[in-house]
Structure 1
């Protein structure tokens, strides 16, 4: 096996080549190799400069994730960076692929940097609940100034070579292999008599109002600490000598390492990689999908079609009339034109998508040759069944028949066809070309290769695909119904929708549940309540005030009024005063005396309902692993990533505390607050949800 860092001498240049496939991660052998390579170059008589580059697809793409959670081994990365910079020879990094996290910190420790035009770089540690911990927050602002450094450190975003050059992160962009452009640049520097240029010796960046920047970072991240800590680390670069700034960066880094937020984000990082790996699909070959059909061109159908076109698929979109078809085309073109304006899509590709890859049709026969069809029609069982009877008649053998239903029984839908083995649920979230979550709902008779096809399609569309079983609402919407019920009970008992929304956005949710209802449309919940009314348990508490809003034609954002009032171009809404009048009238009708709720109690009740229902979903096999539930809520329901997902949150709180809350709440309502047997069993055995994840791995 070759050394992680190769050594070669070309004239008076020592070449250190990283060879740690697949991404030249900065594991122990690589760190040792870099230090040994620098030491060898310094001892190699006649060597005047060192070139560092990566073999294979990339420069150093970051830390070695295999070392996450293990005790660190010397040499530590900050020491490697400082040792590289201290080299008396000129050190140049030539970058291609990605230089992320520690990879960029290695490059910043070099005296000069060159990159190919396609190279990308960034400091994404914020996405793991951390800050750059190997001098990145100290060196970067000396090159870019404070504000660009704050942007890069607090956002974790990647930048291309062109932007990196304009910011001063790199010194030159050139076409060619990293080895060739690196050698040419080193020779150019030597020929011009360039001096060694250590970033740590450059002047400290000019200060700004760091307190204001800290507050802004905390607010933008909805309470996530690591971006705000990144501001404080950059402040140290501005106000302290380099060595003291490095010490402060390290102190902040270690402090973040011990937080629950970091635990949550590491859990999210690994869960995202594990969620699509299912033992039952190991070795199962998905069916080939080149063309798909989409039935229904409303917001959801147009979004699905847009996502498919962007992934290179041909799309046949079926609508009821030519007029409806043209309206659907307009929605799709509108979605794609957004990508065109942002530079994510070339005019040539846009023209090919809307002109060649997209077909609008009004006859089911147009779906006869597609490999997979997704219906996105009205959420009513009789409508869905009619669609699947027609699909069964016209689709070719082996075509996958998918429903985008949010709640309905897919086994019942599949029974309408002569091929239930080909039927699956593909539950997209709106807008489907933007939202990352895809619930792949496997029905009782779904064939393994059809399930594998659902996951393969999700991967092609850039989705986070989660396996779900059949029940009312699958994973996400079933649990949503339960925690929304907990919120509704609090409203009846004295909280306001607006206090609940604020408490939960303060917790870290992107939106509160009532603002989400306005966004989704209040008519969806209204329709669900009507559908479930005949089977409702007599002890179930279901408020009717929201029905009054719907009866008056107030469905939320799409009608300009719901829980909030939406005016013109104003972002967000203002509380609708009619809502509290309706709530107070219902409380009076039910003889309820309102009481005060603290924000902490709101969060505890909301989260306990979510976790308890999640445990029931696990016990029934609707979700296979707790991490599946976490990924549903992180990628589809605005759950704060730094909390790790509801099941990881419960682990971090302590399952015994969550269970104790449920038992306390049950004293007032022992019908709704019934502890999940799985939760009780885990507490009794001293185990966690993460133990279940490990057992399923």
Structure 2
């Protein structure tokens, strides 16, 4: 028997103990041990029931990530679970911590399940481009019902133990010692004469509802909301099989669909993202013994939409936060914005009334900088203007205690210049939140030239506490995300001068998988936001680089997007549906005429390459300059902050999947046709010549 699994006999009960730290991942050795332990318990005539527990902080938390992408090794998890479910003696899974993916499937293979009250269970495989492949799509609907099974499998989010009990996923909740609870439950089963009860033979969850209608509705919803995603539709098909087929045939259908997902390119992209999130936390030159500062209290300067959103992030994490505005009227507007945001969540059912009251109590409105004397962290979220930032940081430098972390939410300005406004630049870091800050997962952690190791580690810890995807970036205009976005937006606008319409460009990029097209995004944000950035870019970039002019024309005409009811599109009052702007066509014609461009029909492929490859080329420059540590960090930024399709893995991974030689060939063609904006990045040329990828590149091997 595997050393990871122990079998003990407690009178007439077999106690199987799994111990594979840190998360009891279901690797080959553990699977082998489980198989042998259950077989031994089945063969022992003295044993009348079996209890399965896990040592450490959690039940089986899923597959062993070390086996991702490798050939399967026997015994497979479905084989192990079939043996568990097939035992003639009742078995009890004792769940604590999390039972995720294969972990929940093992528990479903047991005949009974009890869970500690603070446990969570779930099937997150869809997030990796897969479906639950060890019976989860067949056993869960039989217990919890088709609607709940689809919700869990398609969403991938875990549910609390109480909810799992409500839906018959677990049978009972407990407190206290795992082994004691499991043995007590098993003895009760024997005393009450309750024997084997196999999940695969249950029908409760399949009865009493129109399952065909449920499945059809979820199918239509997925097609509408997640076009292009491969695995969700296979998840639905697998659950549908559970409603129509006996278990054995349903498991065969599940396996077929699982293998389709496994062989999909999307699976590779989503697994790449899974590992990218773990890699992002690793900072190459940060000493391993660096201790982050404790952040017990925070403050936010600025009560606009961004500032309020950041304050909500802290309140959501249970951190008391002070929200500073320059006057009482502005402060009351900001606090009302916070109340309204929470009230909307309560109305939607995503937040309880009690939780809203608790979180609002953590937000204190202030108008005096002196009230910041004792806070551990201050985040500045004022207007994106260096003179305004200077005023704020000079005042913070005067009132904040020694060791307080001073963070700027700047989206593009020079953090080193901002840090120079203080006496302690080592305490300054960038925390670039994305709007709406209380919703968006991305946090660019901007490392200044003099940001200390301790402050950088603290910033990353803050990101984790706020449940953000925190990515370290260096200082340059726009950092990583907005620096690349500038290239993307500029090329989209050049396409308008060549002959495209906003509708054509946006449609092409939505078909590629982007959450929104670039012109719909600009209208949503407000064209005046980009105008300030364009002015600064024109002042600092070489004169020979030509800029598009359509956005300037719209701004000059007062067409600023949704806020004015017209921009690249027209909007009816109270409606955000983009409609054609009839005044735009003559502006496009004039822009093309002034540059001597004959307007023409543009192919969708050309539109996609012209925009997406601009991201790739700039990303390669960012890597070579050391602004980002690794290509997967860039991918994370675009996946979590800019609506890049998850199933394509991010712009750098996408380029790898296309082939850097092919990407470079297209960029060279664009360089010849469109000018110096398209000069190929040296790193791209080097990697393409060597047949390598961005994903495989490391800075220390670049030379």
Asked if TM exceeds 0.5, the reply is: yes
Question: Aligned-residue CA RMSD in angstroms?
Answer: 2.5
Preserved contact between residue 400 and residue 450 of structure 1 (Cα < 8 Å)? yes
User: Which stretch has the larger CA shift, 60-69 or 232-241?
Assistant: 232-241
Q: 1:141 to 1:673 in 2, by over 3 A?
A: same
Q: 1:424 and 1:64 mapped to 2: Cα distance?
A: 36
User: Which stretch has the larger CA shift, 147-156 or 300-309?
Assistant: 147-156
The residue that corresponds to 2:59 in the other structure is 59
Preserved contact between residue 2 and residue 32 of structure 2 (Cα < 8 Å)? no
The residue that corresponds to 1:610 in the other structure is 615
The residue that corresponds to 1:70 in the other structure is 70
The residue that corresponds to 1:307 in the other structure is 313
Which digits, 9 at most, give the CA deviation of each residue in 1:293-340, with x for residues without a partner?
321110111111111222233323221111111112222233344455
Preserved contact between residue 364 and residue 391 of structure 1 (Cα < 8 Å)? yes
Q: 2:391 and 2:404 mapped to 1: Cα distance?
A: 18
Preserved contact between residue 2 and residue 33 of structure 2 (Cα < 8 Å)? no
Q: 1:316 and 1:416 mapped to 2: Cα distance?
A: 22
Secondary structure, aligned partner of 2:285: helix
Once the 2 structures are TM-superposed, how far is the Cα of residue 688 of structure 1 from its aligned partner?
A: 0.7
Q: 1:164 to 1:498 in 2, by over 3 A?
A: same
Say whether 1:635 aligns with 2:663: no
Say whether 1:414 aligns with 2:422: no
The residue that corresponds to 1:263 in the other structure is 268
The residue that corresponds to 1:682 in the other structure is 687
Q: 2:155 and 2:244 mapped to 1: Cα distance?
A: 22
Preserved contact between residue 306 and residue 335 of structure 1 (Cα < 8 Å)? no
Say whether 1:97 aligns with 2:97: yes
Once the 2 structures are TM-superposed, how far is the Cα of residue 175 of structure 1 from its aligned partner?
A: 4.3
The residue that corresponds to 1:396 in the other structure is 401
Once the 2 structures are TM-superposed, how far is the Cα of residue 539 of structure 1 from its aligned partner?
A: 4.0
Q: 1:322 and 1:260 mapped to 2: Cα distance?
A: 55
Q: State the aligned residue count.
A: 696
Secondary structure, aligned partner of 2:445: strand
Q: Which of residues 459, 469, 474 is equivalent to 1:469?
A: 474
Secondary structure, aligned partner of 2:184: helix
Q: 1:239 and 1:546 mapped to 2: Cα distance?
A: 56
Secondary structure, aligned partner of 1:62: coil
Secondary structure, aligned partner of 2:53: strand
Once the 2 structures are TM-superposed, how far is the Cα of residue 87 of structure 1 from its aligned partner?
A: 0.8
The residue that corresponds to 2:436 in the other structure is 431
The residue that corresponds to 2:212 in the other structure is 208
Preserved contact between residue 290 and residue 313 of structure 1 (Cα < 8 Å)? yes
The residue that corresponds to 1:500 in the other structure is 505
Which digits, 9 at most, give the CA deviation of each residue in 1:615-655, with x for residues without a partner?
01111111121111111111111111111111111111111
The residue that corresponds to 1:542 in the other structure is 547
The residue that corresponds to 1:169 in the other structure is 169
Q: 1:194 and 1:133 mapped to 2: Cα distance?
A: 29
Q: 1:497 and 1:8 mapped to 2: Cα distance?
A: 69
Q: 1:371 to 1:197 in 2, by over 3 A?
A: closer
Secondary structure, aligned partner of 1:417: coil
Once the 2 structures are TM-superposed, how far is the Cα of residue 694 of structure 1 from its aligned partner?
A: 9.4
The residue that corresponds to 2:132 in the other structure is 132
Preserved contact between residue 385 and residue 416 of structure 1 (Cα < 8 Å)? yes
The residue that corresponds to 1:15 in the other structure is 15
Q: TM-score, normalised by structure 1?
A: 0.94
5 Å-filtered alignment, 1:42-53, equals: 42-53=42-53
Q: Which of residues 274, 294, 297 is equivalent to 1:288?
A: 294
Preserved contact between residue 218 and residue 225 of structure 1 (Cα < 8 Å)? no
Q: 1:452 and 1:590 mapped to 2: Cα distance?
A: 50
Which digits, 9 at most, give the CA deviation of each residue in 1:409-447, with x for residues without a partner?
122222233332222222111111221111111122222
Q: Which of residues 224, 233, 239 is equivalent to 2:238?
A: 233
The residue that corresponds to 1:563 in the other structure is 568
5 Å-filtered alignment, 1:363-402, equals: 363-402=368-407
Q: Which runs of 5+ in 2 are unaligned?
A: none
User: Which stretch has the larger CA shift, 488-497 or 583-592?
Assistant: 583-592
Preserved contact between residue 431 and residue 443 of structure 2 (Cα < 8 Å)? yes
Preserved contact between residue 116 and residue 177 of structure 1 (Cα < 8 Å)? no
The residue that corresponds to 1:151 in the other structure is 151
The residue that corresponds to 2:34 in the other structure is 34
Q: 1:317 to 1:237 in 2, by over 3 A?
A: closer
Q: 1:505 to 1:180 in 2, by over 3 A?
A: farther
Q: 1:326 to 1:574 in 2, by over 3 A?
A: same
Q: Which of residues 591, 604, 610 is equivalent to 1:599?
A: 604
Q: Which runs of 5+ in 1 are unaligned?
A: none
Secondary structure, aligned partner of 1:406: coil
User: Which stretch has the larger CA shift, 257-266 or 511-520?
Assistant: 511-520
Which digits, 9 at most, give the CA deviation of each residue in 1:546-603, with x for residues without a partner?
2333334433333443333444664643343333343233223433222222222222
Preserved contact between residue 4 and residue 30 of structure 2 (Cα < 8 Å)? yes
Which digits, 9 at most, give the CA deviation of each residue in 1:633-684, with x for residues without a partner?
1111111111111111111111111101111222311312111000000011
Q: 2:542 and 2:14 mapped to 1: Cα distance?
A: 77
Once the 2 structures are TM-superposed, how far is the Cα of residue 76 of structure 1 from its aligned partner?
A: 0.5
Q: 1:95 to 1:419 in 2, by over 3 A?
A: closer
Once the 2 structures are TM-superposed, how far is the Cα of residue 460 of structure 1 from its aligned partner?
A: 1.9
Secondary structure, aligned partner of 2:676: coil
User: Which stretch has the larger CA shift, 408-417 or 462-471?
Assistant: 408-417
Once the 2 structures are TM-superposed, how far is the Cα of residue 350 of structure 1 from its aligned partner?
A: 4.5
Q: 1:461 to 1:15 in 2, by over 3 A?
A: same
User: Which stretch has the larger CA shift, 571-580 or 629-638?
Assistant: 571-580
The residue that corresponds to 2:327 in the other structure is 321
